Amino acid sequence: MYKPIFRITPYLLNLIDEASALKTWIELAPLQLAWLPLMQKDTRARQAHFSTSIEGNALTLPEVKAVERGETVGHSQKHEVEVTNYLKAMIWISHNTKAPIDEALVFNLHQIITHGLLSEEKSGRYKTKQNYVVDDQKIRVHTPTSPAETPAAVADLLAWVNSKKAGELHSILVCAIFHHRFVSIHPFSDGNGRLARAISTLILYQREFDLHHIFSLDEFFAGDLKLYYQKIQQARGLDYDLTHWIEYVAQGVVETLKRTKKRIEGLQVTANYPLAISRRQEETLRLLRDRRSVQVNELMTELKVSRARINQLITPLIKGGVIIKEGESRATRYKLNLN
């Protein structure tokens, strides 16, 4: 069975404590039901954008959201397929958070991530030829596990993930260790990085960092791509001592949760007096959150109700200070009051 090398440093313990405190805050935050589906959808888009951009995908975040809506954005079909596949992978993960992390799951997620990008002989099947990791100058920096040794190496890693020893470790450590070992094995001909990050997210979800599925660790990695690859390679140069890598991932979790906390705080609109918000009003608030501001005609189209009904829905929200009316007559627009 795989035996990772690492040390629990005071710095790492401080990061874990900070992450745990942020996790508790997010769990207890009065996040309104109206915002949750939007935040989950936005998080999936961020995961798809940042994880694929690490591999060179050219789509911007707004373009990823457009692809999720079924629109064509004018980039290469390959890049749009990569994004679509990753969105599907994250949806699958969100619906299967209790799925055992075994070889069947690895193959299934790899098939989802590489559908239409690899041949059937390669999608969801281990590599048959030696692959290599190169840097941005195309210089070889790592020789992964050989094809002959790959099945056993993955089996050893999965056995460790599901072992009692791993179960006694904090989820951030398990997530980080799995991530590094998986990309070092590089078990498939393509899609290894995306798959490693997807399964690492699932590990966090399964081990008490579910948090409504509204945080994207991939955003941290993509924020400084050079550092991300440096940290992966650094551990290899230290005889696979993963201490610094784990600290780096823990720092990423902390920064990601801080960003998530800030987003939640920005969504906590406060009424001037107690309001009982109906389902239709929740839908109205979702639209305002998604589009920043809307006109009455847009609300009528989206909600499929009359102008009179729209007025009934938004008047209490305006009086309660939840939304703001801007402009007059046909130019009138409504937006959330986030002040």
> Would you please indicate which residues are annotated as catalytic (active-site) residues?
186
Residue 14 known to bind ligand: no
Residue 140 known to bind ligand: yes
Residue 279 known to bind ligand: no
For residues 321 and 307, the answer to whether their CB atoms sit within 8 Å is: no
In the DSSP assignment, the letter for residue 70 is T
Residue 134 known to bind ligand: yes
d(CA 54, CA 225): 7
Residue 195 known to bind ligand: yes
Residue 214 known to bind ligand: no
274-297: string of b/e by CB count within 10 Å (b at 16+)?
Answer: ebebeeebebbbbbbbeeeebeee
Residue 135 known to bind ligand: yes
For residues 50 and 218, the answer to whether their CB atoms sit within 8 Å is: yes
d(CA 332, CA 186): 55
Residue 142 known to bind ligand: yes
> Quick one: how far is CA 307 from the chain centroid?
38
Residue 240 known to bind ligand: no
Residue 87 known to bind ligand: no
Q: Please give the single-letter amino acid code of residue 198.
A: A
Token pair for residue 229? 């690859």
In the DSSP assignment, the letter for residue 273 is S
Token pair for residue 277? 């918000």
Residue 98 known to bind ligand: no
Residue 124 known to bind ligand: no
d(CA 82, CA 77): 9
Query: Which residues are documented as binding site for ATP?
Result: 133-142, 190-197, 228-229
Query: Which residues are documented as binding site?
Result: 133-142, 190-197, 228-229
